[in-house]
Copies of this chain bind each other. A is one copy, B any other.
Amino acid sequence: MNLDKAESQTGTLGKALAVLDVIATSYEPLRFTDLLNRLGQPRGSLHRQISHLLEEGLITLNADTGTYELGVRLLNWASLAWSQNSLRQVAAPFLAALHERTNETVHLAVLRDDRVVYLDKVESCQAVRMHSQIGNTSPVYCTGVGKAMLSVLDQASVAELAQRLDFQVFTKHTLTSPAALLAEVEQIRAQHYAEDREEHEVGIRCVAAPLVSAQGELRGGISVTTPVYRLQAQQLEQWRVWVVETAQAINNSLKVKLGPHA
């Protein structure tokens, strides 16, 4: 009956998670009717989906406001997801060493759904904000790790991806077109490292490199971030070398730790 396009259905699960996603990404708290409007589903169906999510502890009803919040079960899963993540486990000591050398904030990130997701962070003891960044996402096109990761995908995929991106302007250095991004990625591919020159946030620069498996598949990216005011030209040069070296070391470690088979 229906052999349209990429027909991807995860059935009942997908529908329930769509509800969860709306709750997760809404800026203001939502009541039943708000969800009804945003999801355009029949009352009955939505109602049951919500009860299931509640019963499973994925969401919570705030009795005072009648609005839904994400449940703490998600926090618990995330904690487990983080600690068992194999990429993170392998990379951790290298990130620590890189931080040691640079004394700047070091990130580990992966690509998901056209966005960068931060997996780990090593920083000098600062105001200890939550996971600081862990689990947060940023656009690919204006972050060091983002562009670094794109550089190991084949040109065609990058072009496709660039086409469907929605370029937002964060600073006057933000890349704002598919063409600009493609050109930049081309260059990154050649030099093996990427830079963010205040493209996402004014006053913040970073140097990044991609992580790949033994088969050359994209695994993630790492970066060193710094405020420009304490940045000196030769430091930057030094960091490029260190970041690339560290990425290389992690790649080698990945081969040993994960895939001694091909």
Which residue numbers of A lie inside 8 Å of B, CB to CB?
8, 10-14, 16-17, 20, 24-25, 29, 49, 52-53, 55-58, 62-65, 69-86, 110, 112-113, 117, 119-123, 125-126, 128, 130-132, 134-137, 213, 258-259, 261
Contact = CB atoms under 8 A, between A and B. Distances in A.
B81 A74 contact: yes
Contacts of A58: 17
Contacts of A10: 52, 55-56
Contacts of A137: 76
| Copies of this polypeptide in the complex | 2
A122 B130 CA distance: 9
A81 B110 contact: no
Contact of A80 (B24, B62, B128): B24
A72 B86 CA distance: 12
28 contacts: A13-B16, A14-B56, A17-B56, A20-B77, A24-B77, A25-B80, A29-B84, A29-B86, A57-B113, A64-B261, A69-B81, A69-B86, A70-B85, A72-B85, A72-B110, A73-B112, A74-B77, A76-B135, A76-B136, A76-B137, A77-B78, A78-B78, A79-B134, A120-B130, A123-B128, A125-B128, A128-B132, A130-B134
Tell me which of A49, A58, A62, A135 has the highest count of chain B C-beta atoms within 10 A of its own C-beta: A135
Contacts of A72: 81, 85, 110, 112, 117, 119, 135
